[in-house]
Structure 1
Amino acid sequence: MGFLTYGCENDPSTIGLEALPSSDLLSANSTENIIYGSNFVPDSIVSDNSSMNQYPYGIIGYFNDPMFGRTKADMVTEVTLSANPPDFRYDPATGEIDEAKFFPDSVVLNLAYVFENWYGDPEAEHTIQVYELAERLDTAFSDSRYFSDFEILGKYYSQLLGQKTISAADTLSDSTWQSQNYVNVISLTLDNQLRDKLFNLTEDELKDRNLLKNRFNGLYITTTDPADPTRPGSLIKINLEHELTNLTLHYRKEFRELVGEDDEEGTLLEVRKMRYIFPINPEARSFNRFEHDHTDKIEVNTPNAERLMIQGMAGSQAQIDLRPLIAEWADSLTSTDPKYGISGVDLIFYADTFHNSPDLFTPINTTLSITHRSENNIPIVASAVDKDGENIPAFRFSSASYDAENNSYTFSMNQAYFEKAARGELEVTPFYLTIPFTQFSFKRVILFNNVSDHPPVFKVRYVTY
């Protein structure tokens, strides 16, 4: 981290001075310091759908990002039971299995996504492969968490359940994609062995979600390695809570007429096609896995990096250390002649939007978060406990929206945090710039850093009186 003071200006129009008596007002000013961050790559992040994660998505695919390097993403998920128990195999009148009437047809995995829920080349082809998990996942909403570097080898059966080659755009026209409420679904017919396992679930397993997960652990959904890894490829974001994302068992009920005592098969009168949906919802544990190769793409752990590279999916983040700059205000905030009053503190970052390839769909993320990190690498609200034991948020809002007019993201620091930090009443620890809900987002942002034009700025507005 480095910094450089480069500006001090009268800025009375932007400062709230109504709290000070006009007779006492001497001067309204602001000072700006250049602040250099550094790129940081976490070992892993929590990537499951438990706790505070509000937007569960599965990400699959391969993307060779010209700025960030290569990323491969795949996912693991359970399925659960629908609200209504299935009626196949069991005669509701007797509760007994009625094998003469019900027959399995197929089991299909459906993965739903919408327009532009992709990143990279939407025409790039992927071969999706599906495997059955060999171990049960921990219960949803439990304290145990799943991380983005979860070792999957040995955790799934080697038999391939099904595969399909697709592209994100799926050869559909723009008008189809952009039609109201259109949802595209990737459907993969899986192996008959899984079909039969689900069809032959016991009555208890069809009533108890926990027993179901003991019998069927879930699915590992991945893609084959690309034939040409130098090609861009793409990533696809699957909506795991959409009703069209599910595992569907298709079966049929046959109605036959028996003629005479010796007629064991009977005459087929009607075939009724039926289905039972195993949903993927919050009761089904799921998580994403990510593999990154940033070699020769991102300068890490140095303030000399020209760009701050912020990527979702457990990718790179930016580390910002404000301790030296805040400490510079210690004397001013304890001064009595003159007295200083802080009216605003902003941390401003400028986006580099010049490195987007016209041939790839790589929009910047329009929101950035500034956080601290827990011991388990979980992004948490940036705050500190003061000497009185009160938890003080570091920023007024933990996220900043992209300002297209100024090409920037601005974080406003909590005035109480700044003043207490400057006076040594709370500990300042490094901050991290991240993509919100990074475990479910494949977007990224590039910020100017150690460059002459548009470096990050730490701006303090104040009055003396």
Structure 2
Amino acid sequence: MKFSKLGLLTLLISLFILNSCKNQDAIGLGVDDANQLHGSMVVDSNIVINTVLEDTVSTTGLAKTPLAYFNDPEFGTTESSIATALTLPGNTSYTLPTGVITIDSVRLILPYAEGFYGDSLTSKFKVDVHQLNERFLSNKTYYNNKQWNYNTDLLGSKTFTARPHDTISVYNIIKGAPDTLIKVAPQIRIPIDPAFPQYYLFGPASLRTSINAFQSAVMGLYINLDKAQTTGPGGNLLFTLDSARVSVYYRTNNGGTLDTAVVTMPVPAAGHAAQIKHVYSTKVQTALNSTATTNSLVYLQGLAGLRAKISFPDVKNMFDSLQNNVIINRAELVLTPAPGTTIPYAPAPKLTMYRFDLAKQRIRLQDASTSDPRGVNGPSFFGGYYNSATNEYHFLVTAYIQDLMLGKSVDYGTFIAPADPALTNLVNISPTASYPDRVIIQGNNSPYSIKLNVIYTKIK
């Protein structure tokens, strides 16, 4: 049979099989039900997999921005700091309220985002706020390795325990009416030196005439965790900075009439970025420097940390004895986390898998691509989700392995990396700086080595 006919037959059979199956994480290759595939199975355990560094990534305007100090006993330390711009109230020129102004308090408000990873039970954090010595430009792209220049004098600080799911009660300041106590979304409220808004907001009129004048003077804020004051292993926190702001609570005396009010200096959209630093443990550094064909342990880490490069050297020769007269009904990659991965070091709930094209650009595998008829079943079918019952990850790679076997696809580089589990409508293949989870995968030379299970049918 010629390969052209085999390719067409493979496509038709694969489409029929894929459309008749459920989510592959729920089925697996060994489930005996109505969806079980019939044929012979071969297990390929000669898989080359190694730990490599993730690419640098833009951190400007992230939906979830990391603030971190995490002393991970397996991976080493991760630090993430935040730089932000500030803008005038209403994002326009600002006119002072009438009367004598007295500042009562100032708070930098950082709303939590979903996705904390680390120890939230025993660890305490101390967050420090500084003023930038360089202007944050909202129209510029900043990467995770950007080193920010900031004033070491403190504008404010706060010691806290991470509570990303707990609402808090604050007073809602209503101009000309009694203040009321209300519940607000989980957030950190950091006291700021009143001298800061006293000068930049209530001071020289020239600073309030335009956004450019204000931001040129303020420069921006630099927010980091004091690692010397962090107790326990710490962790990675995430914040929704498009809702962050400096709130100034003040009183006015207007001819004997007293009133309380609040005015905010918001962090503008795309006006924030993260500076991320990883210092890896000896074990991780050894894996990165290894010249072995494959590693026994592979380290995967979010926040633009670590990924795995994987290849399948035996795929082309897998069916030589059958003169390659086979159809691959299903190919499933199975990965098992190393033992001892429990909270607060639980395995990342989701991984992604992608490949390079000829130009070394990231593209989706055929099984995950909506432009390929064999990948139309969606991201949940492609897999990558952690199954706590089996302690495994599964990827359905039928089309990719078939194309490698037939020489229709060239492996210019294939990778596995952590992915944000909240993104369920697509297979995300971009490097991530807004997802902190990690996992250690068993490579080769263990009872739970990475393996490729292939169900095939011989063509007579």
Match of 2:457 in 1: 463
CA distance in 2, matches of 1:399, 1:77: 36
Residue ranges of structure 1 left out of the alignment (5+ in a row): 1-13, 20-26, 91-97, 257-268, 385-389
User: Helix, strand or coil: the match of 1:362?
Assistant: coil
Shift of 1:286: 2.0
8 Å Cα contact 1:107/1:194 also seen in 2: no
Q: 1:69 aligns with which of 65, 76, 79?
A: 76
The yes-or-no answer on 1:28 pairing with 2:24 is no
User: Helix, strand or coil: the match of 2:39?
Assistant: strand
| Paired residue type of 2:314 | L
Q: % of aligned pairs identical?
A: 19
1:258-294 Cα offsets, whole Å, 9 max, x none, are: xxxxxxxxxxx33222112233353323224223232
8 Å Cα contact 1:368/1:400 also seen in 2: yes
> Aligned ranges for residues 16-415 of structure 1 at < 5 Å?
28-42=39-53, 45-50=56-61, 55-60=63-68, 62-80=69-87, 83=90, 88-89=95-96, 98=98, 100-113=99-112, 117-120=116-119, 122-140=121-139, 144-147=141-144, 149-152=145-148, 155-168=149-162, 183-200=185-202, 209=211, 211-226=213-228, 232-241=232-241, 243=243, 245-256=244-255, 269-280=256-267, 282-297=269-284, 299-300=287-288, 301=290, 302-322=292-312, 324-328=313-317, 335=324, 339-356=325-342, 361-372=344-355, 380-383=362-365, 397=379, 400-413=384-397, 415=399
User: Helix, strand or coil: the match of 1:425?
Assistant: coil
CA distance in 1, matches of 2:137, 2:355: 27
8 Å Cα contact 2:76/2:278 also seen in 1: no
CA distance in 2, matches of 1:137, 1:334: 62
| Paired residue type of 2:201 | F
Q: How many residues align?
A: 394
CA distance in 2, matches of 1:88, 1:333: 82
1:70-111 Cα offsets, whole Å, 9 max, x none, are: 222222222345557586516xxxxxxx5x444444432122
8 Å Cα contact 1:348/1:456 also seen in 2: yes
CA distance in 1, matches of 2:223, 2:118: 18
Note closer, same or farther for the CA distance 1:218–1:39 as it changes in structure 2 (3 Å cut).
farther
Shift of 1:401: 0.9
Note closer, same or farther for the CA distance 1:227–1:253 as it changes in structure 2 (3 Å cut).
closer
Note closer, same or farther for the CA distance 1:208–1:251 as it changes in structure 2 (3 Å cut).
same
Note closer, same or farther for the CA distance 1:116–1:423 as it changes in structure 2 (3 Å cut).
closer
User: Helix, strand or coil: the match of 2:215?
Assistant: helix
8 Å Cα contact 2:85/2:137 also seen in 1: no
1:148-207 Cα offsets, whole Å, 9 max, x none, are: x2223xx1123221222223259x9x9999xxx974332222233421243147889768
| Paired residue type of 2:42 | T
Note closer, same or farther for the CA distance 1:227–1:44 as it changes in structure 2 (3 Å cut).
farther
| Paired residue type of 1:320 | I
The yes-or-no answer on 1:423 pairing with 2:420 is no
8 Å Cα contact 2:136/2:219 also seen in 1: yes
The structure where helix makes up a greater share of residues is 2
CA distance in 2, matches of 1:103, 1:176: 26
Shift of 1:366: 1.0
8 Å Cα contact 2:124/2:159 also seen in 1: yes
| Paired residue type of 1:454 | Y
Note closer, same or farther for the CA distance 1:399–1:439 as it changes in structure 2 (3 Å cut).
farther
CA distance in 1, matches of 2:229, 2:101: 43
8 Å Cα contact 1:352/1:448 also seen in 2: yes
User: Helix, strand or coil: the match of 1:439?
Assistant: coil
CA distance in 2, matches of 1:165, 1:118: 18
User: Helix, strand or coil: the match of 2:433?
Assistant: helix
8 Å Cα contact 2:60/2:274 also seen in 1: yes
1:12-50 Cα offsets, whole Å, 9 max, x none, are: xx996699xxxxxxx822221114454434275315144
Two-structure CA RMSD over aligned residues (Å): 4.1
User: Helix, strand or coil: the match of 1:420?
Assistant: helix
Note closer, same or farther for the CA distance 1:364–1:282 as it changes in structure 2 (3 Å cut).
farther
Residue ranges of structure 2 left out of the alignment (5+ in a row): 1-13, 20-37, 170-182, 421-431
1:387-436 Cα offsets, whole Å, 9 max, x none, are: xxx98699774751112232211111251x43333333332122222111
- TM-score where L is the length of structure 2: 0.71
**Larger Rg, first or second structure (1 or 2):** 1
